[in-house]
Chains A and B, each alone.
Chain A
C-alpha cells in the first residue's frame, strides 16, 4: 500500500495568482498522477508526473497552466497558474504501486478562486 499526504488540504486564492500543491508518498513509486475534480463531477486526469523528465499532459491541459515537478520517486508538485474562478476544483494526487494493481489517492486539495 501507499500513504499519500497532500498539502494544502484547502485554500482560497485570488484570481491571477498561483498555488502549488505538494504530494508526498511514504514509499518510492514509479507512477504518479494528478487529477482534477470539478464541483459535482467525476475525476479527470490532468497529467502523469514522470521522474526525471517532463510530465505527460492529457488533452485540454497544458504545461504553462499546470506545471508539474517530480524531483524524486516520493514527491511531486502541481502548480495551478494564473488562476481564475473556473479553476475552483479539488485537485488529487494518485500513485500506482509497482505491482500495478491498485491506485492510491491523496485526500485532495480543495481550491476556491475568488
Chain B
C-alpha cells in the first residue's frame, strides 16, 4: 500500500505558484520523498526527490518539514502544460526497490 496521502484534486491559476501537499507520517529514516507527474497518455515523469533538506531544480521545489512527516511540491509559475496527476512517493533509495504509486493529486491549471 502507498505510504502517502494527497488531496485528490487541486486547481491553480496559470502563472501562479502551485503548492501540492503530501502527508507521509510513517516515513522511515532511510526513505526519500519522490515526486512524479503523469501528463495524460504519457508515462510518469520524474520531478524531484529529497531526504530531509529542501531541494530545488529547474522544474520545482520540494519543501520537507523538519519532522519529515509531510512535504510540499511547489511549481513556481504554473503553466497549462503542468496540468497532470502528481504522485508523492516515499521509497528507500535503492535500485532494487520499486516505486509504489498512490492515487496522486490531479492538478488542473486554469487559464
Interface residues of A (CB under 8 A from B): 4, 30-31, 33, 35, 41-45, 48, 92, 94, 96-108, 110
Do B98 and A33 touch (CB < 8 A)? yes
| Interface contact B46-A103, CB-CB below 8 Å | yes
Q: How far is the CA of A101 from the CA of B94 in the complex (A)?
A: 7
How far, in Å, is A88 (CB) from chain B's closest CB? 15
Question: Would you call A100 and B94 a contact (CB within 8 A)?
Answer: yes
Q: How far is the CA of A101 from the CA of B93 in the complex (A)?
A: 6
> Are A105 and B44 in contact, CB atoms less than 8 angstroms apart?
yes
- Given A42-B101, A42-B103, A107:B95 Cβ within 8 A: no
Contact across chains for A100 and B95 when beta carbons are under 8 A apart? yes
Q: Tell whether, in the assembled complex, residue B95 and residue A30 are in contact, meaning their CB atoms are under 8 Å apart.
A: yes
Question: Is B49 part of the binding interface, using a Cβ–Cβ cutoff of 8 Å?
Answer: yes
Q: Can you name 5 A-B pairs with beta carbons within 8 Å?
A: A42-B102, A44-B101, A96-B97, A99-B95, A107-B42
B70-98: CB near A (< 8 Å → 1, else 0) gives: 00000000000000000100000111111
Complex Cα gap A40–B97 (Å):
25
Chain B residues with CB under 8 Å of A41's CB are 103
**Cross-interface CB contact of B46 among A33, A42, A45, A102, cutoff 8 Å:** A102
Residue on A nearest B43 in the bound complex, by CB: A105
The answer to whether B44 and A31 touch across the interface, beta carbons within 8 angstroms, is no
